[in-house]
Amino acid sequence: MYGLVNRAIEQLVVSLRGQEGWRRVCRQADWPDEGFVAMQTYDDGVTYRLVGAVSQELGMPPADVLRAFGEYWILYTADEGYGDMLTMCGSDLRSFLEGMNHMHARMEATMPHIRPPHFRVEDGANGEMLLHYESERDGLAPMVEGLIVGLGRRFGQAVEVHHRHPRTPTHPVDVFEVRPLP
């Protein structure tokens, strides 16, 4: 993945545990503490190793680290020069999610090697929104939960997210149920 993602993990850890905490994470992940170049691609394995090491550092399961990271990503990208892109993508949660594929596609201009996920929004039977998430990567569904919560916060809308259907080998699409909270 692009270094921008790994840099965000670094910033999250530094904000919670300081530079010393980040140094421990790097040691644990067997990765040199030299920083990441935002526009350079790194092997996905680096990101997964970092998530595992952060999980040890924070004493929480990797899925919770990914949830926290998803929430943080919304704040981080807004601060890192992508605020306009976020603003242009939509002014409420639903329209934003509907514009996500287009937004990631536009990034190909500056990030030609990006392999973004694909989303589809559908109405559920009981007023909930169903978000279909497709990715060539495994294990990132909790990150999507955090992203939705973080986006909800950006739009002043608290939401409850339930992972309704995990992907299967024959149907590699995760489905999330998103309900606005009063």
State how far the Cα of 7 lies from the Cα of 44, in Å rounded to an integer.
13
User: Dihedral of CA 26/64/11/9: which sign?
Assistant: positive
Q: Any contact of residue 111 with ligand HEM (CB under 6 A)?
A: yes
Q: Is 101 helix (H, G, I), strand (E, B) or coil?
A: helix
Cβ neighbours of residue 27 closer than 8 Å, sequence gap 6 or more: none
For residue 152, the surrounding DSSP H or E stretch is: helix 141-154
User: Dihedral of CA 72/131/112/84: which sign?
Assistant: negative
Q: Considering only 1-9, 19-27, 121-129, 159-167, which stretch makes contact with ligand HEM by CB under 6 A? A: 1-9
**Per-position x/- string for 4-23, each x denoting binding to ligand HEM as judged by CB under 6 A, each - no binding:** xx------------------
Q: Which of 25, 100, 149, 161 binds ligand HEM (CB under 6 A)?
A: 100
Q: Considering only 27-35, 60-68, 77-85, 122-130, which stretch makes contact with ligand HEM by CB under 6 A? A: 77-85
Q: Considering only 8-16, 57-65, 99-107, 162-170, which stretch makes contact with ligand HEM by CB under 6 A? A: 99-107
Cite the beta strand spans of the chain per DSSP E: 118-123, 129-134, 159-165, 174-180
How many chain residues touch ligand HEM (CB under 6 A)? Answer: 23
Give residues in contact with ligand HEM (CB under 6 A).
1-2, 4-5, 77, 82, 85-86, 100, 104, 107, 111, 114-117, 135, 137, 140, 143-144, 147, 151
